[in-house]
């Protein structure tokens, strides 16, 4: 399982600009074709967005930090999503009006979540914009309707429920084990703070790979420099998992 932004694709000023390079895509395809591997992506993006960018190699795709998941003959849609859709819509319209003073602010409306990106904003205004964005949602945050999540030059508002990438990883693992009829181990790759939830959920038989330079609070097993290294790792693992002649 792997995150998308910063792990499979380089971080970009706006979400629309992110893409998987041909080299990384080749690595994904190579490892996903292995008969003993199930490949999945767990992202903060909407599920359909992730699936379109990664392609059919991903057997499981989880969006909104795992609040929505699709896999072979199974799907998950958290009950809290529908209850916040109108709240998110109102906040998106309010934020667009109230943050118009700050150039470079980008509001990503995911229907059930809303992210304020300030990567393109002037550095001296970016923090203030994020503070005002969070203040707009203060009533919903205090009422535990929404929670805020800090990202890379961004702040996200989403349903305040005990569900995150770690829960999604558990959900996917359980379905894979049921389908195969045996226990499996997870190799999880991620670069962001939200991936720490998955890192904390994994067991002793699983492997954690931190991607990029940011420090991780969870003890990681390995570190890769960025998406290009992730693609090379997948390609190398695919070769190592090839059966030897005569096996």
Query: In terms of domains, do 135 and 204 share one?
Result: no
**Pairwise CA distance, residues 114 & 107, whole Å:** 7
Q: In this predicted structure, what is the pLDDT of residue 123? A: 94
Mean per-residue pLDDT, 193-201: 91
Burial environment of residue 49 by CB neighbours within 10 A (0 to 12, 13 to 18, 19 or more): middle
**175 and 156 Cβ atoms separated by less than 8 Å:** no
Mean per-residue pLDDT, 156-174: 97
Cα–Cα distances in Å, from 175 out to 23, 59, 117, 209, 228?
A: 30, 11, 34, 22, 30
Q: In this predicted structure, what is the pLDDT of residue 244? A: 56
Q: In this predicted structure, what is the pLDDT of residue 241? A: 74
Query: In terms of domains, do 167 and 151 share one?
Result: no
| Residue 105 in domain | yes
Residue 217's pLDDT band, with cuts at 50, 70 and 90, is confident
65 dihedral zone (left: phi>0; alpha: psi -120 to 50; beta): left
23 is in which domain, residue-wise? 15-78+163-240
| Residue 10 in domain | no
Rg over CA atoms, the chain: 19
Question: Does 247 score more than 70 pLDDT?
Answer: no
Query: In terms of domains, do 169 and 150 share one?
Result: no
Mean per-residue pLDDT, 213-226: 87
Q: What is the CATH number for 73?
A: 3.40.50.1000
Residue 152's pLDDT band, with cuts at 50, 70 and 90, is confident
Residue 245's pLDDT band, with cuts at 50, 70 and 90, is low
Q: Please indicate whether residue 152 or residue 229 has the higher confidence score (pLDDT).
A: 229
| Residue 202 in domain | yes
Q: In this predicted structure, what is the pLDDT of residue 215? A: 79
Query: In terms of domains, do 29 and 135 share one?
Result: no
pLDDT, one tens digit per residue, over 95-136 is: 999 999 999 999 999 999 999 999 999 999 999 999 999 999
Provide the number of structural domains found in the chain. 2
Query: In terms of domains, do 84 and 155 share one?
Result: yes
**Residue recorded with tokens 């792997």:** 2
Query: In terms of domains, do 89 and 51 share one?
Result: no
**Pairwise CA distance, residues 174 & 172, whole Å:** 5
**In this structure, how many other beta carbons lie within 10 angstroms of the beta carbon of residue 150?**
13
**Pairwise CA distance, residues 104 & 143, whole Å:** 30
Q: In this predicted structure, what is the pLDDT of residue 210? A: 95
Average pLDDT of the chain, as a whole number: 94
Q: Name the residues annotated as catalytic.
A: 3
Mean per-residue pLDDT, 10-32: 95
């Amino acid at each position: 399982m792997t995150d998308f932004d910063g792990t499979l694709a380089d971080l970009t000023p706006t979400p629309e600009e992110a893409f998987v390079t041909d080299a990384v895509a080749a690595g994904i395809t190579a490892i996903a074709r292995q008969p003993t591997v199930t490949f999945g992506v767990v992202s903060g993006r909407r599920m359909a967005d992730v699936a379109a960018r990664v392609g059919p190699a991903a057997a499981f795709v989880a969006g909104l930090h795992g609040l929505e998941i699709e896999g072979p003959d199974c799907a998950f849609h958290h009950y809290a999503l529908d209850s916040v859709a109108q709240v998110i819509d109102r906040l998106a319209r309010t934020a667009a009006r109230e943050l118009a003073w700050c150039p470079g602010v980008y509001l990503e409306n995911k229907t059930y979540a809303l992210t304020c990106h300030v990567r393109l904003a002037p550095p001296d205004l970016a923090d203030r914009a994020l503070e005002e964005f969070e203040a707009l949602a203060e009533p919903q945050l205090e009422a535990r309707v929404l929670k805020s999540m800090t990202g890379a030059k961004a702040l996200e508002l989403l349903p305040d429920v005990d569900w995150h990438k770690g829960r999604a990883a558990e959900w996917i693992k359980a379905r894979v084990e049921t389908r195969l009829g045996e226990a499996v181990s997870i190799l999880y790759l991620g670069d962001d703070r939200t991936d720490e939830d998955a890192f904390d959920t994994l067991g002793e038989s699983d492997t954690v790979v931190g991607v990029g330079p940011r420090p991780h609070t969870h003890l990681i097993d390995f570190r890769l420099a960025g998406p290009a290294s992730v693609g090379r790792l997948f390609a190398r693992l695919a070769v190592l998992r090839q059966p030897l002649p005569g096996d």
